[in-house]
Amino acid sequence: MERTLIIFKPDAVQRGLCGQILTRFENKGLQIVGLKFMTIARQTAETHYAPHKGKGFYEGLVKFMTSSPVAVVALQGKNAIAIARKMMGATFGSNAEPGTIRGDFGVSNSFNLIHGSDSVEAAAKELKLFFRDDELVDWTPTIQAWIYDMAKGTPE
| Coil, helix or strand at residue 47 | helix
Burial class, 113, CB count within 10 angstroms (exposed 0-12 / middle 13-18 / buried 19+)? buried
Mutual orientation of helices 80-88 and 18-28 as an angle, nearest 10°? 130
The answer to whether 52 is a known catalytic residue is no
Say which of 115, 117, 130, 131 is annotated catalytic: 115
User: According to DSSP H, which parts of the chain are helical?
Assistant: 10-14, 18-28, 42-48, 58-65, 80-88, 101-105, 120-130, 144-147
Fill in the amino acid letter for 134: D
Tally the residues of the chain.
Answer: 156
The residues annotated as belonging to the active site are 115
